Amino acid sequence: MAEKPRRASLADSLRRWIPRQSILGRILFPLIEERRSLPAVLTWLGIGIVIVFVFIAIASPLLAPWDPYAFVDGPDVPPWTNAPVLANSTYFSFSPTPWMNMTAGQAIDGRDATSRGINDTVVVSSFLLRVFRDAVTNVSYVILLDGRATTPGHYLGVEWSADGGATWSPRTAIRTFNQFVRVDLTPLRSWNLASVEPGRFSLRFTHLADTNTAGQVALNYAAFHVVWLSFWHLMGTDPVGRDVFSRVLVGTGTSLQIMAIGVFAALLVGFPLGLFSGYTGGRIDKVLVLVMDSLYAFPGLLLAGLIAVLIGKGVVNIGLAVTVIYIPLYFRATRSHVLSAREELYVEAARALGAKPGRILWRYIAYNVLVAIPVIFSLSAADAVLTAAGLSYLGLGVQAPTADWGLDLSAAASRISVGIWWSSFFPGLVIVILTIGLSFLGEGLNDIVNPVLRRERS
Amino acid sequence: MARGSSLLAYALTRAILALPMLFILLTAVFVVLRILPGDPILALWGGRTPPPDAVERARVQLGLDQPPIVQYLTYLRNIFTGNLGISIGEQYRGTPVWSQIATRFPATVELAFGGMLVASLVGIPLGVVAGANRDRWVDLGVRLYGTIIWVIPIFWLGLILQLVFGVWLRWLPANGRWTGVDTPCAPPSTCRFQTGMYTVDSLIEGNLGHFATAVSHLLLPSLTLGLVLSGFFAKTVRANMLRTIGADFTEAARARGVPRRAIIYRHAFKNALVPVVTVLGLQFAILFAGAVLTEKTFSYQGLGILLLESITSKDMTMIQGVVVFYAAIIVLISLAIDILGASIDPRIRL
Amino acid sequence: MWIVIVAILIVAIIGISTYAVLSARVPTKVGIELWYNNDGHYGDTETALALTLQNSIQSCGRVTVSLKSDPWAVYKQNWANQRMPMFLLGWYPDYFDSDDYASPFLSIAGAKSLGSFYNNSQVDQWITEEQSTTDPNIRTDRFTKIQNALADDVPYIPLFSGVAQTAYVNSVQNVELHPVVFKWFIVDKPGATVLNVSTSDKVISLDPASAYDFFSGEIINQVFDTLVVYDWKNATLKPGLAQDIPTRANGLVSADGMNYTYHLKAGVTFHDFPLNTPLTAQIVANSINRAIRLDLPGSAAFLLYDVGALGRDATNGNNSSPGAIEVVDSSTITFHLARPVSFFNDLMAFSVSAPVPDSYNQAGEQPSTAGSVIGTGPYKMTTHTPNQLIVLDRAFGTKASNTYYNKDLYSPTLGPIPIMDRIVINIRASAAALKQDIETKAVDVVFRTLSPPDLVDLQNRASSLGITVKLGSSPQIRYLVFNVNKVPNKLVRQAIAFSVDRSAISQIVFLGTASPLYSMIPAEMPYSTAVFQSKYGDARCADANNLLAQVPATIELIALARDR
């Protein structure tokens, strides 16, 4: 019976290119051959998550449904729904009039516009509403009259126009004082985005009185209210009306950049220093260890913050500030590996054969130490993402309007007290997913490349 | 007698070894603070042009007219004589740094203890159970829990707890250290002594209502801090359990026919605790520096926030003071841990 | 097969990133930096404010705005060092005169210290003229000219007026959002002797010679008295330590407006028990000289020696100019100013002029601890735990036998002051903590500063919570500053004035709680004209772009400093 021809596995083809004892080989082969073991599963999971994030970071301009920097909708729109948004604005311009103390953009602060002459009129317009979508569901105006400053028997007549003042509605008498009077205009005509645009809607106020006695009427507040349905957002909008989902996507790039800069720079400094210090030993080693230990003893986040204050707030600068925390980490890890590798037989043998110290250092020691690097690398990468987010949260990291998870989270944190959770929840959630991916990767690799643990397991 | 003296000698050596570290830290802080952008003196006047005599006076007062090396030596001398100086930042200008640290430290201690308590209560049992049931589902679950909870941004967890317990359920206060007016031991109540830690003070005062308030404020921050730390605790305990379960003395006990439960919980756990205490002790020391992210999330006035505020307002003396205080604590606690370890296991001293 | 997949991925990634790079930027005409403070000096809303401004300016399509921020300690040096071309600032008046909204910004010296470096000798001249007269006709004319110049040259763009806000449980009375300084001594909680309040403000210094921030001034106002004080509801002046308010009519101001005489009330003592030092004219003179001489960093001493024209003379030991302060007798003091200052009475109502006993530290700042803060005011400070607690107790007598010298100041409307025996002020770490305090009614009043969403939330739930939320106009103004040296082209500044959208600021950042500002002099002050409204309005992109079309293409970028 002829043996079934075995299809060359991926591992077989890789074997041709990558020697089993090379750094890559020592990581890759266990990953493929024992892919059902827990460490390998964790590693693959981690690799998958990281790849997805890298892809998102690169493709985010294409994937983002909205401009991440523009105010595209009402503020604080909840996720997963077309929420009704109330746009309200008071008037920002008014016609020449005998009315006194007219101010644009009146606030409800007790300052009144008053009229002393019966039948004095004023036309107020430029209600600067922010309506983004042609889905107007409710239109009304709101009047607040000040009862204390109004003479009894005097009241306000209001007409409205939705065509820039060309035609006016019949007059409505407002005789309620000290509380908001809302007049619903929704059924009176068909409303759309164009009909509520600034400049289209105007109100005309007339000072009316029951008898012809002198007196005044005091208007505290007048506003135009439009309720419209927002666009649909997967993760809602943030406190200024930007799309949270788009910002989360674009923020991926920021996080990955800071992480990469921070971790690579730390590697570039910490690894050679650790090699050198561990191999030469002596006084230099002692001093370096002392310096690194001191650095390590400082609260890392605030140390990075101090450096960030020193060198600035760009993405690159924050990456470099984060580096400070990880240099000691790489230094210590490398040095301890060198110390143990130095005593290994093959190094002794090489030394006995008369190899130059430089060659021993690079060819024999560094090479073996390098295997441990991917582990520290992914673990410190997870930590770097957290540190960068923490810096932004404390206001020491990158600055607005950069799309950054930590920054968005902290900008929305003050909304938690009124129950608006989505604008801080989702940026935090992606931080968690990315850091979980990175630490799965790190822990999986750790189990794989650390032969002591493997021997223990078998 | 001999044992005691050698322990003392060991403690002394360790303490002396800690000095250079402190020294390097102080130097680094000194250098960094002096190359920070902006002039601390001009900052005091804001955009206004200060009168020339006033600038000169302030410079002399702060010793900034001296050459850097003299400033540096004065700085070291002041610190080693316990003089942390007077704040020059916007907010605390004129108040002694020491008094600010003293008012913030009790809050930090409370939070550190609260966090450690939660972390130990959750983390250590999880670690033990995982270690005892190696490679089973429980173990896998604990490992995943440990990994995941440890990488959750602490402020995010804090905000979620705040949202759920403070805003939605309204069970617990989400902000600050105290609701209400009379803090424990505030007049007219009389206390024999006052610690500044509200939980302790309310007990000294004997006011259970106050104690409940203090605890309710401490609960959410401690839970946040403790849960995140519990991941780390569980992993550390688990790793050390595995090591001791595989060790010779447990093998020996097993050979003697000691039941499995007893082996795990009496022999293995007890021996695993020594290295665990070292690691966790250091973590504790780090918490004493203030958990700045937790403090900020819960507007909790601890040392971390103080350091953060002084960094943003570039309050040089305050930064120096807090860092020195912090370094001293780290050194002291790690010293205590070392000595503790050495007194348990004499081999360390060799 | 694997190689194919990898190749496709690589090609896709390259393609996407090229697209991303190419599509990222639309060509624009002018780039400018907008700076803002990022450590809460103006509250948590500052980033949103900067974002909204950036958005409204950029949405016109011709100007690119890049945001920059710095903590306050660096920020306040940045404008002196001319590092910021366009930046956000706020102003709280020192004295309640329209001049305090004009001279600090538009006089040559003032503009230099506030970072616009606006230099217009004609405007400077008008300001001097407006300062030296009380004639309303001349002042109207000069202020109109000044504001027209402001609108034409646009060294500043007024944005909005701050909103004062407080929330209190319904039983509390007389909570007045005073336009100048909050008065705890008029607040009443019937049936109680203690009023518990909380705030998120921080004390910086309680030495009148040093304090120059709102909250320190607020505490000083309860503990100290000034020669003249404000009415309980508005900015009308009332006699405080002085018997009368000097005017030309009562002869206490000389005809040339350069000499002010105050007669002190009898029986005023400091609350430095058991000394109970009586107040004399010499003490008033010493206190003002002390503030001038010390000229503590960040203090308001310049209001006395510079704005108030009392001088600071090195030959006189850095005290006021020789002869500027004359102690006529133990209860009469006369100020001889170097030039007429029409609002000198307002300066005497500012905290920096509050008399302190001679026992105060004469060589530096007095500590702000309980026992070291000694005034003549209705309350004395009995406890001060920094960042935690301030307790104010009735300083003179009891409620039944009130011996405060000025107890009938606001009678009969209010009855004898102070009303409460004790005010306990809790200092909280955040706005969220304030909200929590009033929600749970742990305190009776919260004052400064609730965040806009919290405020709206409390407003909506006010009746179910049994609390009152009160909004009022605040004299604080917020505005954009142009450093005219860095943005020398007037057309660019005017174009930005056109494109600013105050309604967006009000709606997005303050949820409708802030009112727009169209002149540096706010609407409730005399002589104010809404010059920016008629000239620029809001969000007028077409007009902005018309102006920008005239801008020569050579000034593409304005001062994009090193990214730091």
What CATH number has the domain bearing residue B107? 1.10.3720.10
Residue B230 resides in a domain: yes
Residue C23 is nearest to which of A61, A101, A111, comparing CB atoms?
A61
Mean pLDDT of B319-334: 82
Taking only the tens place, the pLDDT of each residue in C33-46 is 999 998 888 888 89
Residue B245 resides in a domain: yes
Mean pLDDT of B33-55: 69
Is CATH 1.10.357 correct for C30-162+484-557?
no
What is the per-residue pLDDT for A349? Answer: 82
Whole-complex ipTM: 0.89
Q: Is the pLDDT of residue C442 over 60?
A: yes
Q: For chain A, which domains are there?
A: 24-68+237-457 (1.10.3720.10), 84-229 (2.60.120.260)
Single out the residue of A86, A90, A88 nearest to residue A220, CA to CA: A90
Is residue C166 classed as helix, strand or coil in its secondary structure? Answer: strand
What is the rounded distance in angstroms from the CA atom of residue A93 to the CA atom of residue A272? 68
Residue B43 resides in a domain: no
Q: C129: buried, middle or exposed (CB in 10 Å: 19+, 13-18, 0-12)?
A: middle
What is the per-residue pLDDT for A53? Answer: 95
How much of chain B, in percent, has pLDDT values that exceed 90? Answer: 22
CATH ID of C164-200+378-473, from 3.40.190.10, 3.40.630.30, 3.40.50.300, 3.30.230.10: 3.40.190.10
Q: By the CB < 8 Å criterion, does B37 face chain A?
A: yes
pLDDT band at B223 (very low <50, low <70, confident <90, very high): very high
Q: Is the pLDDT of residue A456 over 50?
A: no
- The neighbouring-strand residues paired with C467 are C169
Contacts of B150 in chain A (CB under 8 A): 439
Interface test with B, best of C303, C436, C441, C443 (most B CBs within 10 A): C436
Rg of the Cα atoms in chain C: 26
Q: Is the pLDDT of residue A23 over 90?
A: no
Q: Which domain holds residue B263?
A: 97-349
Is residue C96 classed as helix, strand or coil in its secondary structure? Answer: coil
Q: By the CB < 8 Å criterion, does A114 face chain C?
A: no
Interface test with A, best of C23, C449, C478, C564 (most A CBs within 10 A): C564
Single out the residue of A308, C83, C82 nearest to residue B36, CA to CA: A308
Q: Is the pLDDT of residue B76 over 80?
A: yes
What is the rounded distance in angstroms from the CA atom of residue C115 to the CA atom of residue B280? 52
Residue B271 resides in a domain: yes
Domains contained in chain B, number: 1
Taking only the tens place, the pLDDT of each residue in A377-391 is 888 899 899 999 999
Mean pLDDT of B257-267: 77
- Tell me the domain boundaries of chain C: 30-162+484-557, 164-200+378-473, 217-373
Q: Is the pLDDT of residue C324 over 90?
A: yes
Write out the two tokens for A191.
């409303």
What is the per-residue pLDDT for A88? Answer: 85
Q: Among all chains, which residue has been given the structure tokens 């809790």?
A: C426
Rounded mean pLDDT of chain C?
88
Contacts of C515 in chain A (CB under 8 A): 103, 105-107, 109
Cα atoms found within 13 Å of the Cα of residue A39, Cβ hemisphere only: 22
Q: Is the pLDDT of residue C65 over 80?
A: yes
Q: Name the B residues in 36-65 with CB < 8 Å from any C CB.
A: 37-51, 53-54, 58
Amino acid at A452: V
Residue B148 resides in a domain: yes
How much of chain C, in percent, has pLDDT values that exceed 90? Answer: 48
Single out the residue of B102, B98, B104 nearest to residue B317, CA to CA: B98
- Nearest C-alpha of chain B: how many angstroms from A134? 34
Mean pLDDT of C313-331: 91
pLDDT band at A304 (very low <50, low <70, confident <90, very high): confident
Q: Is the pLDDT of residue A12 over 90?
A: no
Under 8 Å CB pairs connecting chains A and B tally to 124
Contacts of C509 in chain A (CB under 8 A): 240
Is residue B29 classed as helix, strand or coil in its secondary structure? Answer: helix
What is the rounded distance in angstroms from the CA atom of residue C88 to the CA atom of residue C50? 8
Q: 3-class secondary structure for chain A?
A: CCCCCCCCCHHHHHHHHCCCCCHHHHHHHHHHHCCCCHHHHHHHHHHHHHHHHHHHHHHHHHHCCCCCCCCCCCCCCCCCCCCEEEEEEEEEEECCCCCECCCCCCCCCCCCEEECCCCCEEEEEEECCCCCCCCEEEEEEEEEECCCCCCCCEEEEEEEECCCCCCCCCCEEECCCCCCEEEECHHHCCCCCHHHCCCCCEEEEEEEECCCCCCCEEEEEEEEEEEEECCCCCCCECCCCCEHHHHHHHHHHHHHHHHHHHHHHHHHHHHHHHHHHHHHCHHHHHHHHHHHHHHHHCCHHHHHHHHHHHHCCCHHHHHHHHHHHHHHHHHHHHHHHHHHHHCCHHHHHHHHCCCCHHHHHHHHHHHHHHCCHHHHHHHHHHHHHHHHHHHHHHCCCCCCCCCCHHHHHHHHHHHHHHCCCHHHHHHHHHHHHHHHHHHHHHHHHHHHHCHHHHHHHC
What is the per-residue pLDDT for B111? Answer: 93
Find the closest chain C residue to B40 by CA distance. C73
Q: By the CB < 8 Å criterion, does B24 face chain A?
A: yes
Taking only the tens place, the pLDDT of each residue in C123-160 is 999 999 998 888 889 999 999 999 999 999 999 999 99
What is the rounded distance in angstroms from the CA atom of residue B54 to the CA atom of residue B210? 48
pLDDT band at B3 (very low <50, low <70, confident <90, very high): very low
Mean pLDDT of C498-509: 91
Residue B212 resides in a domain: yes
- Nearest C-alpha of chain C: how many angstroms from A414? 7
- Nearest C-alpha of chain C: how many angstroms from A10? 9
| Helix, strand, coil share (%) of chain C residues, nearest 5 | 35, 20, 45
More confident residue, A371 or A66: A66
Rg of the Cα atoms in chain A: 34
More confident residue, A95 or A343: A95
Q: Per CATH, which fold does C217-373 belong to?
A: Dipeptide-binding Protein; domain 1 (3.90.76)
pLDDT band at B1 (very low <50, low <70, confident <90, very high): very low
Q: Name the B residues in 142-201 with CB < 8 Å from any C CB.
A: 173-176, 178-181, 183, 186-187
What is the rounded distance in angstroms from the CA atom of residue A347 to the CA atom of residue A363? 10
Residue B17 resides in a domain: no
Q: Name the C residues in 33-62 with CB < 8 Å from any B CB.
A: 39
What is the per-residue pLDDT for B2? Answer: 41
* Residues sharing a CB contact under 8 Å with residue B11, sequence separation 6 or more, in sequence order: B335, B338, B339, B342
Asked if residue C457 lies in contact with residue C511, where contact means CB atoms within 8 angstroms, the answer is no
Single out the residue of A380, A447, A452 nearest to residue A42, CA to CA: A447
Residue C50 is nearest to which of A312, A400, A418, comparing CB atoms?
A400
Taking only the tens place, the pLDDT of each residue in C412-436 is 888 899 999 999 999 888 888 899 8
What is the per-residue pLDDT for C420? Answer: 93
More confident residue, A308 or B340: A308
Residue B122 resides in a domain: yes
Q: By the CB < 8 Å criterion, does B337 face chain A?
A: no
User: Residue C427 is inside which H or E element, if any?
Assistant: strand C422-427
* Residues sharing a CB contact under 8 Å with residue A76, sequence separation 6 or more, in sequence order: A236, A237, A238, A239, A241, A415, A420, A423
What is the per-residue pLDDT for A168? Answer: 93
Residue A299 is nearest to which of B150, B163, B326, comparing CB atoms?
B326
Q: Is the pLDDT of residue B287 over 90?
A: no
Q: By the CB < 8 Å criterion, does A126 face chain C?
A: yes
Find the closest chain B residue to C37 by CA distance. B312
Q: By the CB < 8 Å criterion, does A9 face chain C?
A: no
Write out the two tokens for C233.
């509801």
